[in-house]
Structure formats: C-alpha cells, structure tokens
Structure 1
Amino acid sequence: MSTMPASHGHSAACCNIPPIVSKGYQPKGSYEEVGGYKTYVTGPADATKAIVVIYDIFGYFDQTVQGADILAFGDDHQKYKVFMPDWFKGKPCPIEYYPPDTPEKQQALGKFFGEFPPPKIAGYVPEYVDALKAHSPAVSKLAMLGYCWGGKVVALTVKAPTNPFTAAASAHPAMVDAADAEGLTIPFALLASGDENPEDVKKFEENLKVPHHVETFADQIHGWMAARSDLTKERVKAEYERGYKTLLEFFGKHL
C-alpha cells in the first residue's frame, strides 16, 4: 500500500494515520451559533475563563468533543467554558480520504489543506473572540488549544499582534516550527506524540522565552488526544486522560 509523503508542512504521520470512529459518547454541552459559526459550547454557565479549541481536520469527532468536556469539567478548582467553532462550515476532511493510498485521495487531501491553510483560519480568530465575549460576557480570560492542524492555527494566532489569549497549548501539532516560538509573549504548552520530529520539538522549546511545558508522549501516535485516539485501548485511554490532566494543570497555573 502506498502512503502519502509529508505535504503542506504536515508530517508523514499526519498525512497517513486515519481517524478512529468512536461511538457512544454523550456530549455534556450543546451546539450554538457564535459569531456566525456553529460552535460546540460546554462548561459552567458562570465560568469567567474560557478555552477556545481548534479541532483537527476531522472536525467534531467524539474523542475531540469528549476532550472539550474534560477541559470544561475536569478541574475541581477552576471553571472553564469551552468553545469549539466549526471553521469548516460542516465540511471537515472526509475520513474516506484516509489512508491516502491512491493518487485521487492524495489530490483530494492536498486540496482540502489548500482550502483551509492555518494562516487563513488564524486571521478569523480575533473576530470570533469578540463574538464569544458578546455571547458570554462573564468571560474575562481566554486560553487556546489546538490539535494537529489546529496546533498551527494556535501558534500563528498567539504570536500575532492581535492575540487575545492569556495562555495557549497545542497537542500533537502539525507543522512544528521553531520560528513560531520566537516572540511568543504568553505561557505555552506543547504535548507531542512519538510521531512529531524530536528535533523540531526540541528547537521549538529552546526558542520559548515564556513559562512553558513541553512533553513528548513517546508511545502515542499523532492525534492521540483527538480524532485518531482509539480509546478502547487501555494505554491510549490512560495517556489521553493524562494529556488532558497536564493541560488542565497548565491552564490552572497560567490562566
């Protein structure tokens, strides 16, 4: 079976590992319109802190929605509202593209990445945050979290002059670039999988001049905290939960 080489800055793992269709999770939140975007909203209504989650290219998978609920309700000492907007407007990357083992699938996947480049989405975020604040006026502090493709969106958003976030994190980010760490002014966490290039992760950490947490979950695949997580496997489930605990601890310190 052929595989797709790294493309559009994504790692080979990102381009070839298919998502896992998880069934049976009952979301704790609801879907609402915020700033013109369908948004998964979860968490206590009176929370004064919020986390904006940028999903991976597969959109609203159960594992990703469950992760949002963990962030919203997993810390006994902090209350968070979590917002996960649908940047793809109901058209995420079809799981049928994975694995991209034919030229047709590779072409389709490349077209998808071309339609949703991270800089484009990052440019929408500040206006979305304005809408979020209008939706939930009690929110005074914000953090941002991105998975895979969304990790690049986070990196670009929080280093821009328009950054509205107090803390940020990425989990198994695609396109890890040490240059994105330069000039960051807010605390940043990076949770890498065993599929990210260790040298890229190391250089990224070396360039961080802000409070940070960088950790590699070496026996986990790219996507283990989002759509590619097979939570039927005990070790994956344990590291999925540990990843979210790590993020909650980080946000608890810096948000």
Structure 2
Amino acid sequence: MTFVEACCNTPPTNAEWVNKGVDKVLPTKVNDEERLTYRTGPKDSKRGIIGVYDIFGFHPTTYQFFDRLALLANGEFQVSVPHMFKEPSPAAQLMGNLPALMEWISKHGDYKNSHLDALIRAAVEDLRADGCTSFSIIGQCWGTWIAVQAASEEDSLFLAAGGPHPSRTTVETVKDVRCPLIIVATKDEPDMIPVVESVKHKNFAVESVHKRFENMHHGWCGGRGDWTDSEQFKAGLEAINLFAEYFAKVVEVSE
C-alpha cells in the first residue's frame, strides 16, 4: 500500500498566513514525553475536532485550513491539531524519492509504533478538559489515513471522520470504521466513491458523503496549497464549509 502518486512528487508552496491559534503542551504525556498541539477556535464550544496535518507537517495553508474551519463553523468547534511528528518533516526534500519518503513516514508516522494513537487520545482528553463533549476527526492526505485508523478503534468516540485529498484511504482501510465518513477528493486521487459506499451498510445515523474537486490538485488544503490563488481559495472555503456543516450535522443528530 502506498501514497497517491501526486503526494510524492508535488512540493509544498511558499504560502503565508497569520495563525489564529496557539501551541500548547498537552496535559497528558505520550510515551512519557510532553507533546504539543495547535489549538484554535472558541474555548466556550462543546464541540471538538481533532485535525491531522499532511506529510509536510505544519505549513501556512495547513494552519489556515484549520483556523478557517473553526471560524467558518460560526464558533461551533474547538480544533486541536497535534504535532504528530516529533522532528521536522523532510518531505519537501524527499519529493520524487518515494522509497526514502515511505521509510521516514513508516518510522515517524506509524499510527501505533509512533504512538499517534496515544497522542490523539491525549488531544481528545485536552479538549474534554476544556468542555468539549463531542468529537470528530479530520486529516489531510496521509492524515486522513491516520484519522480513519483512530475512528476504527473499538473505543472510538469520534462521530465522523474523513478529510481532503486522502492517501492510503481504500475500501480495505475503512472496513472497520465506526462512524460515517466525509471524503473530499481532487483530480489526483482514485475514485473515492467505492470507499464511501463501502461503509453505508453500517447504517450510521448520518450517511457518509463524497465530493470531488476536479479542478484542484492533491494537497491544496494543506502544504501544497496556495490560497493567494483565487480558485484554490474559493475551492478551499467550499471544502471547509462542507466539513463544518457535516460535523455540525453529526453532532446534532447524536444529541
């Protein structure tokens, strides 16, 4: 199993953004280490979202995506984006070198072996301590695969999972998911409709959804996005609105 081809040969952009949130140390240690998360959104919201960035780690458009997710949700969500990688990602330098990129991700971005499962749980508990009572999870690219794994845990609390331009997200990898999915694809990903259709037999209270942006490229909501480009910005806001409305819906149905 590998990444979408465009994931391994499309470099990040030199985008700019002034962050609206702040980094904070998670109260719960992960594998006996202190870890950070990026927190954005209103502290009085009871609805939480865990975000998982793409293989470039934090990037201006990545911050912008999660900041605007909180803003466009009309103050409905507190968003927490853990620092998944303990060291800076070399993905930008490894573009075009698939074996080296896969080796680094396998070592530093494995859901279990890199303790990302525990990191996500710590981020959930941090949101819970700040008043959140419901949780969804969204990941970009590789992060969607991580989000799906978190939402497949037997004790998962997530009401919905998914993300834009997913990698490693297949019928096989979503077979154990315990909540509905929202998948936003681009021209560079394979057909994601079978993935979404494959979980509909689970009869979740809210139906899984799919949308493809044929005019967008892989990664436009994260490290490969340049939202000074009006078309990318317009599509980015549309995608964020889709996610915000969907996550709000699953919370409303659960209440």
Would the TM-score normalized by the shorter structure come out above 0.5? yes
**Residue equivalent to 1:234:** 230
Instruction: Report the 3-state secondary structure (helix = DSSP H, G, I; strand = E; otherwise coil) of the residue aligned with 2:172.
Output: helix
**Residues in 1 aligned to 2:70 and 2:158: alpha-carbon distance in whole angstroms:** 17
The number of aligned residues is: 238
Instruction: Report the 3-state secondary structure (helix = DSSP H, G, I; strand = E; otherwise coil) of the residue aligned with 1:180.
Output: coil
Q: Deviations over 1:102-139 (max 9, x none)?
A: xxx44432321221344325532453245414642x11
**Residue equivalent to 1:204:** 195
> Which residue identity is paired with 1:153?
I
**Residues in 2 aligned to 1:96 and 1:180: alpha-carbon distance in whole angstroms:** 28
**Residues in 2 aligned to 1:182 and 1:242: alpha-carbon distance in whole angstroms:** 28
Q: CA RMSD in A?
A: 1.9
Q: Deviations over 1:163-211 (max 9, x none)?
A: 121222221110121123334332220001111111xx12202212231
> Which residue identity is paired with 1:163?
S
**8 Å Cα contact 1:10-1:174 kept in structure 2:** yes
> Which residue identity is paired with 2:231?
R
Q: Deviations over 1:13-64 (max 9, x none)?
A: 11111111212x1111111111332111011111111110000011110101
Among 118, 122, 129, the residue aligned to 1:128: 122
Q: How does 1:152-163 map to 2 (within 5 A)?
A: 152-163=145-156
Higher helix share: 1
> Which residue identity is paired with 2:159?
T
Any runs of at least 4 consecutive aligned residues in structure 1 with deviations exceeding 6 A, and if so which?
A: none
**Residue equivalent to 2:55:** 57
**8 Å Cα contact 2:48-2:136 kept in structure 1:** yes
Does 2:89 align with 1:92? yes
Identity %: 24
1:87 Cα offset (Å): 1.2
**8 Å Cα contact 1:48-1:80 kept in structure 2:** yes
Instruction: Report the 3-state secondary structure (helix = DSSP H, G, I; strand = E; otherwise coil) of the residue aligned with 1:219.
Output: coil
Instruction: Give the TM-score normalised by the residue count of structure 2.
Output: 0.86
Q: Summarize the Cα distance change of 1:220–1:10 in structure 2 as closer, same or farther, 3 Å threshold.
A: same
Does 2:153 align with 1:169? no
**8 Å Cα contact 1:118-1:150 kept in structure 2:** no
**8 Å Cα contact 2:50-2:120 kept in structure 1:** no
> Which residue identity is paired with 1:231?
W
**Residues in 2 aligned to 1:90 and 1:167: alpha-carbon distance in whole angstroms:** 29
